Amino acid sequence: MLRLTWVQPEDLVGHELRQAALDGRDASAVAARWRAAGGGEAPLRAGASDRPARARLRALAEDLLDELARLPSPSADAEPTALDRIRALCPDWPPPPAASRPAASVSPARLEAAWLGRAAGCLLGKPVEKLPLTGIRRLAGATGNWPPTSYFTARGVPRDLLAAYPWNRRSAPTSLAENIDGMPEDDDLNYPLLNLLLLRRHGRSFTTADVARVWLDELPAGRTFTAERAAYRNLLTGVEPPETARRHNPFREWIGALIRADVHGWTNPGDPAAAAAQAHRDAVLTHTANGVYAAMFAAAVIATAAAGAADVHACLRAGLTVVPDGSRLAAAVRHAVRLAAAHADFDTVVDELHAVHSPAHHWVHAVPNTALIAAALTHADGDFTGSVARAVSGGWDTDSNGATAGCVAGLLAGSPAALPEHWTAPLKNRLATSVGDFDGTGFDALAHLTYREATRP
């Protein structure tokens, strides 16, 4: 029995009902019909339910997804997706760099630190992805690694604890400290590679359709998840961007676009507005509203950090300038930064973030995860180990959050030599991937390829 995750209609309805509640659509009548017909809630942590739906229930799911899409959204005016409307709601949208000033630049060494930081943060989070917060804390605590200052290990963890909180099944064989042999494949590294290909083929004036073409050429469908898989399916059925982000895609405000933002920041050092606009053209293939804002926020933060002249707090402020003031994402980030500044114990910050966001949001949603990244970077004051440890220790999408925090902190560190060796040495300057011809490429080589795009006129 093949249960394909993230695209089967009977598994999407529950997610769409949850998304409707977040953006204020009244879906109560649809929910009642779904439950009366025997429809279930969305799968809690995986992408597919255990059993296939009856043909009649699957057909109903298709109809209800269309009906839900037609419901008016009260949040649409305050949370638009079109770039011109987003800019109109950002009173502090950053101006372009002054013509009288030399353009900001980024060095290959800084970019290599960013690539390494992204990989190390992702690798730290991989074994505990999908685990509840309690499980992450107990597993790390059992080996004296709380808060985590090195990669997770199964050595010394009691068997009953491992049985209660098993490591991520796919990641443990490659991502626990005793198993690491280079950087294993992960979508958090695949997308930066795809965006390198995108820029090499189309330059920084690429279109959303160009993004789609690169994906269809280079990205195996089985390496996509959540919103990306829904958009990929839509492309294969003839749906064109930006409708690919909206049709039967309840994951359109999840974290997928954010994890694709790094290259847009790296190639626009010191120009957060250009980075955000570039990230927007990428993001709207798969996401809308807050899912797009998360990518724009990350790109602007990274672009500011890439220039090497700002501290982490200035970088985060730059990120907020490209997010609509009245959006849920902006409110969540501001709240997280305030919490991080107010509490010495980061576990207290995390507990408050979970109390606020977990009841309403899926663990992959962009709003809580972006807030956690901002809190981790703030609380660690940009320190590398502190940033990745805090981002992962907060749970939710652990590998993606660790990757983004690691990228920013790596840029701020400025060079590979400034990163602690116990994070970078296990990577062995080798990245596994199914994207293009990149399998086995070193992070130093990737830094030079990125530098070439960052300095291309």
157 is a domain residue: no
Size of the chain in residues: 457
CA-nearest of 331, 334, 404 to 373 is: 404
* CA–CA separation, 91 and 287 (whole Å): 23
CATH number for the domain harbouring residue 284: 1.10.4080.10
| 81: its two tokens | 């997706």
75 is a domain residue: no
Average pLDDT over every residue of 36-62: 89
Total number of domains in the chain: 2
- Please give the DSSP secondary-structure letter assigned to residue 205: G
Q: Is residue 58 domain-shared with residue 192, that is, in the same domain? A: no
Q: Is residue 237 domain-shared with residue 337, that is, in the same domain? A: yes
139 is a domain residue: no
Taking every pair of C-alpha atoms in the chain, what is the biggest distance, in angstroms? 66
Q: Is residue 65 domain-shared with residue 194, that is, in the same domain? A: no
Q: What string of DSSP letters covers 117-153?
A: HHHHHHHHHGGGTT--HHHHHHHHHTTT-SS-SS---
CB 454 within 8 A of CB 107: no
Mean model confidence pLDDT for the chain:
96
Range of the domain at 31: 9-70
Q: Is residue 197 domain-shared with residue 280, that is, in the same domain? A: yes
178 is a domain residue: no
- Please give the DSSP secondary-structure letter assigned to residue 94: P
Q: Is residue 350 domain-shared with residue 262, that is, in the same domain? A: yes
Q: Is the peptide bond before 242 cis (omega within 30 degrees of 0)?
A: yes
CA-nearest of 230, 182, 262 to 5 is: 230
| 292: its two tokens | 């797009």
Q: Is residue 65 domain-shared with residue 193, that is, in the same domain? A: no
* CA–CA separation, 302 and 307 (whole Å): 9
421 is a domain residue: yes
Q: Is residue 203 domain-shared with residue 273, that is, in the same domain? A: yes
* CA–CA separation, 40 and 390 (whole Å): 35
Q: Is residue 218 domain-shared with residue 306, that is, in the same domain? A: yes
Give the pLDDT confidence of 353-370 residue by residue, as tens digits.
999 999 999 999 999 999
In percent, the amount of the chain with pLDDT more than 90 equals 92
149 is a domain residue: no
16 is a domain residue: yes
Q: Is residue 214 domain-shared with residue 257, that is, in the same domain? A: yes
Give the pLDDT confidence of 136-165 residue by residue, as tens digits.
999 999 999 999 999 999 999 999 999 999
CB 369 within 8 A of CB 396: yes
Beta strand segments in 255-382, E: none
Average pLDDT over every residue of 402-408: 98
- Please give the DSSP secondary-structure letter assigned to residue 254: B
pLDDT category of residue 254 using cuts at 50, 70 and 90? very high
Q: Which amino acid is at 339?
A: L
Q: Is residue 46 domain-shared with residue 112, that is, in the same domain? A: no
Q: Is residue 34 domain-shared with residue 111, that is, in the same domain? A: no
- Please give the DSSP secondary-structure letter assigned to residue 431: B
2 is a domain residue: no
Q: Is residue 191 domain-shared with residue 59, that is, in the same domain? A: no
* CA–CA separation, 73 and 241 (whole Å): 21
At residue 36, the pLDDT reads 97
- Check pLDDT > 60 for residue 90: yes
